[in-house]
Structure 1
Amino acid sequence: MGDTERLSLLVGDGTVPSGAEVEVPVMNGFAAFTGDFVLDIDRAWEVVYGFARTRTVPPGEWCES
């Protein structure tokens, strides 16, 4: 796997139970994520906006996949 294929996911905040799945818009489609990696919408936007603005990884528990 090349460097461009690495992915890190921020651990969810308990908004959705671990065993449940949520479809999230990703690029040109949707991807299913378990509750282990789902954030409240306000927190999710905060993470995305903060990263886009500062180019730094937000604090939290990240899992490389």
Structure 2
Amino acid sequence: MNLPSVDELKGKWREQMGAAKVAWGELTDDELLKVEGHEDKLAGLIEQRYAISREEAEKQVKHFFDSHRG
């Protein structure tokens, strides 16, 4: 199985940003661009912005990516 390139991941992330904005409306477009679809970075941002546990943030991010992979 071939892993997607970094450019492919970034392209897919740009497509998913709209859905991420709906899921986490308090995050800005700039913040979402900076995380570039990295689950760990996104979880950290959500943890800080929404004042939730890291575990809960990671769970939300995992659910988001599981339901938006295509």
Same fold (TM > 0.5)? no
Query: Shorter-chain TM-score: what band?
Result: 0.3 to 0.5
Max Rg structure: 1
TM-score (normalizing by structure 1): 0.32
TM-score (normalizing by structure 2): 0.30
